[in-house]
């Protein structure tokens, strides 16, 4: 008895190049056209397609009114300092080691006396709920899940008490601008301490507000006003406008409702331009945890702060938002680390857009980096899920870069693995 073959013969022919081809059949094409099951929302799928922080920036630009986006994306003056901070990381040249077992890597580090899952902290940012109604709560929630510190700004749109009550887990730092009214500054610091914040970040590079021409040209005021121009911008971004009109209006949460209408006006009328090195003792008297001074831009200032006994410094030009053409933090880093790196934690911010940037800064001597714009792009792109995507992108890139360098743990990173090209 002869068995019948179940194999279907598919006619083939050779084309002019000699390649054997077969007729295109629907049975072969159909499986390729099947759409994968949708297990996430449309927004989440869009966020998942963001490969890097630049993709989140573009998505945030499309979903946010122009004045709001420019507030995040812009810098002072001609934005030279901001551009240089980003470009400095383009000068990084890695020197990987091969034939190392990097099947697992450990990204944890010790930061100001406590463990952090990454050499990374979320920077303080002002008026965060203008970018998305979820604001600081969303950012702090992602930081808590990710095991890194989050820093609440003096000019944030959420109070220390509300943040602590809503996001009780995680590590919270508090950023202070010293006000002309020192009693109010003290009261605010005491509120942060009572709410469980464990590090005070004293920002010292804002004696006056920087000239941010993008904000001037866009007519940005705080809170945003519904003029014809802003209404049209909002109508072009209906999700942002809906959130703005149906949630609590964003305000400077630690100030009275009749406060200044811009950060520049606030710096001019409320911040104390007379703050000096001697005022660190005043901070130490009212704050019993670690003190970090943010805005250091010269090795001599770093040395003096180490002698005073602060616990950490942040090399920062305020993201290029204060003095244009100011020193580039990454280029300052090696000299500052050589001068004071054994006496305090040296952090860095400005221009960090990838996990590779994080690894490069740590290899050059930074204890950790702080990022602001990177997570704000995610916040504008999609609220808390967008911030989570920004964190995931940075964390994955840190691990990948370490593996490609042949490094198994953060403590192994050194200048042997990196240099700044001329």
Catalytic residues: 318
For CA atoms 82, 197, 399, 381, the dihedral sign is: negative
Cα(318)–Cα(86) distance, integer angstroms: 13
Q: Which of 413, 393, 384 is nearest to 150 (CA)?
A: 384
User: How far apart (Å, rounded) are the C-alpha atoms in residues 49 and 404?
Assistant: 23
Query: Is the N-terminal amide bond of 274 cis, ω within 30° of 0?
Result: no
Burial of residue 297 (number of CB atoms within 10 Å: 0-12, 13-18, 19+): buried
Q: End-to-end CA distance of the chain, in Å?
A: 82
DSSP state of 117: S
Reduce the DSSP state of residue 169 to 3 states and report it. Answer: coil
Say which DSSP state 319 is in: G
Tokens standing for 296?
């250091």
CA angle 288, 117, 191 (to 5 degrees): 30
Contact 380, 386 (CB under 8 A): yes
Q: How far apart are CA 314 and CA 370, in angstroms?
A: 8
- Does an H or E element contain 323, and which? none
Cα 199 from Cα 97, distance rounded (Å): 36
Q: Which run of H or E residues covers position 96?
A: none
Residues in the chain: 422
325 backbone φψ class: left, alpha, beta (φ>0; ψ -120 to 50):
left
Q: Which structure tokens are listed for 299? A: 């090795």
Residues 6+ apart with CB under 8 A from 85: 317, 319, 320, 328, 329, 330, 350, 351
């Amino acid at each position: 008895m002869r068995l019948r073959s179940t194999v279907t013969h598919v006619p083939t022919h050779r084309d002019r190049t000699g390649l054997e081809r077969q007729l295109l059949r629907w049975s072969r094409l159909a499986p390729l056209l099947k759409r994968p099951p949708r297990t996430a929302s449309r927004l989440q799928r869009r966020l998942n397609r963001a490969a890097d922080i630049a993709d989140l920036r573009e998505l945030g630009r499309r979903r946010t009114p122009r004045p709001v986006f420019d507030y995040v994306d812009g810098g002072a003056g001609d934005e030279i300092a901001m551009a240089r901070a980003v470009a400095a990381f383009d000068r990084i040249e890695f020197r990987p080691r091969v034939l190392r077992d990097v099947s697992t890597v450990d990204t944890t580090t010790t930061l100001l006396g406590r463990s952090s899952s990454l050499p990374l902290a979320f920077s303080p940012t002002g008026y965060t709920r203008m970018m998305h109604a979820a604001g600081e709560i969303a950012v702090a929630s992602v930081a808590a899940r990710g095991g890194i510190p989050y820093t609440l700004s003096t000019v944030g749109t959420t109070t220390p008490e509300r943040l602590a009550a809503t996001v009780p887990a995680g590590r919270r730092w508090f950023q202070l601008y010293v006000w002309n009214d020192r009693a109010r500054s003290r009261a605010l610091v005491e509120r942060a301490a009572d709410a469980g914040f464990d590090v005070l970040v004293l920002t010292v590079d804002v004696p006056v507000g920087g000239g941010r021409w993008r904000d001037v040209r866009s007519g940005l005021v705080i809170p945003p006003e519904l003029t014809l121009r802003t209404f049209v911008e909002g109508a072009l971004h209906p999700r942002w406008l809906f959130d703005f009109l149906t949630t609590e209006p964003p305000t400077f949460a630690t100030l009275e409702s009749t406060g200044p209408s811009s950060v520049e006006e606030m710096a001019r009328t409320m911040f104390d331009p007379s703050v000096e090195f001697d005022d660190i003792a005043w901070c130490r008297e009212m704050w019993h945890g670690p003190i970090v001074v943010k805005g250091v831009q010269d090795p001599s200032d770093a040395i003096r702060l180490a002698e005073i006994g602060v616990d950490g410094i942040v090399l920062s030009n305020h993201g290029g938002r204060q003095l244009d053409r100011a020193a580039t933090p990454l280029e300052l880093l090696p000299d500052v680390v050589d001068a004071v790196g054994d006496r305090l934690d040296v952090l860095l911010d400005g221009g960090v857009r990838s996990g590779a940037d994080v690894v490069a800064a740590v290899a050059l001597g930074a204890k950790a980096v702080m990022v602001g714009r990177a997570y704000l792009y995610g916040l504008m792109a999609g609220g808390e899920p967008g911030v989570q995507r920004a964190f995931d992108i940075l964390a994955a890139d840190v691990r990948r870069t370490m593996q490609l360098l042949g490094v198994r743990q953060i403590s192994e990173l050194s200048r042997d693995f990196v240099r700044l090209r001329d």
